[in-house]
């Protein structure tokens, strides 16, 4: 039995794949204790050939799984169903990791009692890097509010993850948010999470990545959040209502509205999407301005408290 399985979806990333694989085959963690599953999601470049070359060099460490193209979520689910490690780690094939990542994170599993081990990471830009740092979380509610929704900076205990029956939503953008907010419901307390305060992952920012090519899929966030709201009502009722309300509003207004919609060149598209966001917020959370977390001091909350008509007008005219 392996201690860790690393699942890497691969799709047309020949330029970046060697750097990713080099960072994983040269880990300080004992090679007999982990496996790397390369899930070729129907690549049309030479990504599969690169995978095969590495497998020939590291046959005891790497496995190649080949499937028809189904997208990032489908490839992750495919790998999860076929891995053998006690813990599973999802890494994107255009990113790379520190050579001590697996060793440091596995040590924090506390003899495999932790359900999640999370690490810090770097945002990697062409000419600079930025550290994304957390020092810890006080409670599950705090994790809901401040936790990082990305899937690739966490070790998940595989038996627990399979018991939750949570999978990544196929064919949708923002799949990490759907996954993150669901699995949190299966944490009994914050002590089931450990934090590696070292930055272990280099999260590469590039124009050709899925997250950058998303103008036509911005509205996927509406499906993601509706699915989550239904899921929470089914499993938890009103528990964590204030936390989810705050986090969803913050993401919709701060991330989607400002970072995704505002840069759009098509004014009609921008106006339509802006209107849709406000309609969704009002429908899902008619009392959102009374949220207790929103009333806390801070720059982000000050922005969120601004009146709706002002931002609607501003965003569609910029």
What pLDDT, in 10s, does the model give residues 268-308? 998 899 899 999 999 999 998 899 998 887 756 655 655 45
Please state, rounded to an integer, the average pLDDT across all residues of the chain.
92
Nearest to 275 by CA among 229, 216, 283: 283
Higher pLDDT, 271 or 50: 50
> Mean pLDDT throughout 55-76?
98
Q: Using a pLDDT cut of 90, give the percent of the chain over it.
A: 79
For the cut 50, the answer to whether the pLDDT of residue 163 exceeds it is: yes
| Model pLDDT, residue 295 | 81
Residue 72's pLDDT is what? 98
Q: Between these two residues, 187 and 299, which has the higher pLDDT value?
A: 187
Q: Which band of pLDDT confidence, cut at 50, 70 and 90, is reported for residue 255?
A: confident
Alpha helices, H only, the chain: 17-25, 47-57, 72-80, 101-107, 140-146, 158-164, 175-183, 220-235, 241-250, 267-284, 299-304, 308-317
CB 29, CB 102: distance < 8 Å: yes
Please give the Cα distance from 91 to 153 (Å, whole number). 8
Per-residue pLDDT band at 35 (split at 50, 70, 90): very high
**pLDDT grade for 182, boundaries at 50, 70 and 90:** very high
Mean pLDDT to the nearest integer, 257-266 = 85
pLDDT beyond 70 at 7: yes
pLDDT at residue 171 greater than cutoff 80? yes
Q: Which of 59, 61, 62, 81 is nearest to 70 (CA)?
A: 81
Q: Looking at residue 48, what is its pLDDT? A: 97
Closest alpha carbon to 90 in 218, 183, 217: 183
Whether residue 213 is predicted with pLDDT greater than 50 in this model: the reply is no
pLDDT at 310: 45
Q: Is the whole-model pTM more than 0.85?
A: yes
Q: Say yes or no to pLDDT of 259 above 90.
A: no
Which of 20-34, 216-230, 292-306 is modeled with the greatest confidence? 20-34
Portions of the chain given CATH number 3.90.550.10: 4-204
Which pLDDT score, from 0 to 100, does residue 318 have? Answer: 45
Higher confidence at residue 299 or residue 221?
A: 221
Class of the domain covering 4-204: alpha beta
* Rounded CA separation 154/115 (Å): 10
Note the pLDDT of residue 304: 60
Q: Which residue has the higher pLDDT, 126 or 259?
A: 126
Question: Does residue 65 register a pLDDT over 60?
Answer: yes
Residue 236 has pLDDT above 90, yes or no: no
User: How far apart are the C-alpha atoms of 52 and 124, rounded to whole Å?
Assistant: 27
pLDDT level of residue 211 (50, 70, 90 thresholds)? low
**What's the confidence (pLDDT) of residue 198?**
98
Distances (CA, A) of 185 to 35, 49, 114, 165, 228: 28, 40, 15, 12, 11
Helix, strand, coil tally for the chain in percent (to 5): 45, 15, 35
Per-residue confidence (pLDDT) for residue 279, from 0 to 100? 94
Compute, in degrees rounded to 10, the torsion defined by CA atoms 304, 142, 233, 251.
30
pLDDT (tens digit, 9 = 90+) per residue, 75-124? Answer: 999 999 999 999 999 999 999 999 999 999 999 999 999 999 999 999 99
Residue with tokens 């991330």, as numbered in its chain: 255
The reported pLDDT for the residue numbered 206 is: 77
């Amino acid at each position: 039995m392996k201690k860790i399985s690393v699942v890497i979806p691969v799709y047309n990333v020949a330029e970046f794949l060697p750097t990713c694989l080099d960072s994983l085959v040269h880990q300080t963690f004992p090679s007999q204790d982990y496996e790397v599953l390369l899930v070729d999601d129907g690549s049309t470049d030479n990504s599969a050939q690169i995978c095969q070359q590495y497998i020939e060099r590291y046959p005891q460490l790497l496995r190649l799984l080949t499937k028809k193209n189904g997208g990032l979520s489908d490839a992750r689910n495919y790998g999860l169903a076929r891995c053998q490690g006690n813990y599973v780690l999802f890494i994107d094939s255009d990113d790379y990791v520190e050579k001590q990542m697996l060793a440091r994170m596995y040590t924090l599993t506390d003899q495999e009692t932790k359900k999640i081990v999370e690490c810090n990471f770097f945002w990697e830009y062409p000419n600079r890097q930025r550290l994304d740092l957390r020092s810890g979380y006080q409670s599950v509610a705090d994790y809901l509010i401040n936790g990082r929704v990305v899937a690739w900076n966490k070790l998940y205990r595989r038996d627990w993850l399979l018991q939750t029956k949570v999978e990544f939503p196929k064919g949708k953008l923002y799949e990490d948010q759907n996954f993150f907010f669901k699995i949190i419901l299966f944490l009994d307390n914050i002590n089931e999470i450990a934090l590696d305060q070292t930055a272990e992952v280099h999260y590469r920012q590039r124009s050709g990545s899925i997250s950058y090519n998303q103008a036509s899929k911005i509205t996927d966030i509406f499906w993601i959040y509706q699915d989550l709201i239904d899921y929470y009502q089914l499993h938890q009722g009103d528990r964590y209502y204030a936390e989810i309300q705050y986090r969803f509003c913050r993401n919709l207004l701060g991330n989607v509205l400002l970072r995704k919609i505002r840069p759009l060149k098509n004014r009609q598209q921008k106006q339509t999407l802006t209107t849709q966001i406000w309609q969704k917020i009002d429908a899902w959370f008619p009392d959102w301005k009374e949220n207790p977390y929103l009333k806390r001091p801070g720059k982000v909350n000050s922005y969120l408290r601004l009146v709706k008509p002002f931002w609607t007008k501003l965003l569609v005219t910029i």
